[in-house]
Amino acid sequence: MSAQIENLKEYSQEELAAQPIGAWTGEAYRRVVGAIRAQLAAENLTQPHWWTLNHASGAPGHWTRATLTARLTPYDDQDTDFDAVYDDLIARGWLTEDATGGMTLTEEGEAGRLRARERNLGVHHQTHEGISQADFITTINVLRRMVANLGGNGNLPEDAK
């Protein structure tokens, strides 16, 4: 257990209710995404590589460069050149494109995806440590409602169902 967890103080309901949600969600985002990106970097991957591997694995031959780029761009905060990501995975021998442009993982690509998945699961377990499933679900639902309250789409992504 880290010193940060051991030193986690208790606060009154009033103190917690007065906290700025933007500051806490921003810090959580930076910590979670930073940990994921660090684990992916150990495999010489970026998040867009990871997203591509998962989409191509889940629907072999379905995603083309154009359709996958359109799907992933809303989640990208690094101004990614997705063609460069696809080209990199093809050069590694992890991804192929058929005559219609459909992308499929190779055996090497699936092996790399599974290695990265194991690394990301470690981050997932660390993130959820000491948090009940009920509290996690409540947190997700509260964040979904906040997003919707501010004009965003609070629904789960179609492929997350």
Q: What is the pLDDT of residues 11-21, one digit of tens each?
A: 999 999 999 99
Banded pLDDT at 160 (limits 50, 70, 90): very low
The three-state secondary structure class of 104 is strand
pTM above 0.85, yes or no: no
23 vs 161: CA distance, rounded Å: 29
Tokens 């499929």 correspond to 104
Other beta carbons less than 10 A from residue 21's beta carbon:
10
Query: Does the pLDDT value for residue 1 go beyond 60?
Result: no
pLDDT tens readout for residues 111-151:
999 999 999 999 999 999 999 999 999 999 999 999 999 99
In eight-state DSSP terms, residue 44 is T
Note the pLDDT of residue 6: 73
First to last CA, the chain: 33
Q: How many other β-carbons are positioned within 10 Å of the β-carbon of residue 54?
A: 15
111, two tokens: 């092996």
